[in-house]
Structure 1
Amino acid sequence: MPNCDHCDAHVSDRFARVFADESGRVRACPNCSANAGIAEVSRDRAHE
């Protein structure tokens, strides 16, 4: 069951397939970031 690495909220397998990074980490989800900016927030958090 995949979870967001930032807020630990559950995300669906489908969400994880789309938004996880190369190592399978989900760094942003609808619970902790704006839906329109998930990809950008995820990319920014990967560099923190």
Structure 2
Amino acid sequence: MPTCDHCGAHVSERFARVFADERGNILACTSCSANAGIAEVAKERARGT
């Protein structure tokens, strides 16, 4: 089962297909960011790494 690379929470395969980057990293999930802002938070965290 995939996990969020930021907080370590488990996410579904479907969530990973939608929100993972091109390398398969999941930089935000519903446990560590607001539902409405997951894509934006993931982009910000990717720029910071």
Provide the alpha-carbon RMSD of the alignment.
0.3
Distance (Å, rounded) in 2 between the aligned partners of 1:36 and 1:6: 17
Q: Which residue of 2 aligns with 1:37?
A: 37
Identity value in percent: 71
Deviations 1:3-39 (A, max 9, x none): 0000000000000000000000000000000000000
Distance (Å, rounded) in 1 between the aligned partners of 2:7 and 2:32: 6
Q: Which residue of 2 aligns with 1:23?
A: 23
TM-score normalised by structure 1 residue count:
0.98
Residues paired across the two proteins, number: 48
TM-score normalised by structure 2 residue count:
0.96
